[in-house]
Structure 1
C-alpha cells in the first residue's frame, strides 16, 4: 500500500458528506458505525473508527447488518410468521420465565 492515499468528498448544504469507499475500507467501517475525530493543534484532523461503547454488542450489530443485507438482496425469502408457528413457540416456552438481569451460572458462562 502506498504511504499516502488522498481522497476527497464534498460537503452538502447541510454540512454532510459521504465517506469515500477508500476510507471506509481502510477503517473497516460499515453502516451505522461511528467515526472518531481527533483535532490536532496544527489544524490536522485524524479520522479513526470509534470503539464500540460498553452497551453495544459488536457481534449482534454485525449479525443485524448481515440480516439487513440478506433481506435487501433476497426479499423473496421473507415470509410472514403464521399463527400456527406462534402457537407452537408459545407451547414450548410460554411458561418459562427468564430474568435477563440475573447473573449467569457457572454452567452458562
Structure 2
C-alpha cells in the first residue's frame, strides 16, 4: 500500500473525520468500523471485521472455495497442491506456517 499522509482535526468532543484517501485505502464507508492501536507513540488504524481487503480477491476466493467444496478438479494447479487444497477445504489454515519441501513459483 502506498504511503499516505493526511491531517485531521480533533473536535471538542474528541472526534475525527478520517480523510477520504484513508477511508478509501482501508476500504471503509459510513458505518464501517476501524481499530486504533497505540504502538511506540504512533497510532495504527486498521479496518475491523474484514477478511479480505480487495473485494475482487474475496470474490475469487469464494468462487474457488465453492469449486473445491463441489469436488471440481483444478487443472491449472499441480495435482499435489490441488489435493492439499481439497484436504483443507473448510479448515483453518495458518499462512505463517513453514512450508515443507521445495516450492516452484
Q: TM-score, normalised by structure 1?
A: 0.42
Query: Computing the radius of gyration over CA atoms, which structure comes out larger, 1 or 2?
Result: 1
Higher helix share: 1
Q: TM-score, normalised by structure 2?
A: 0.44
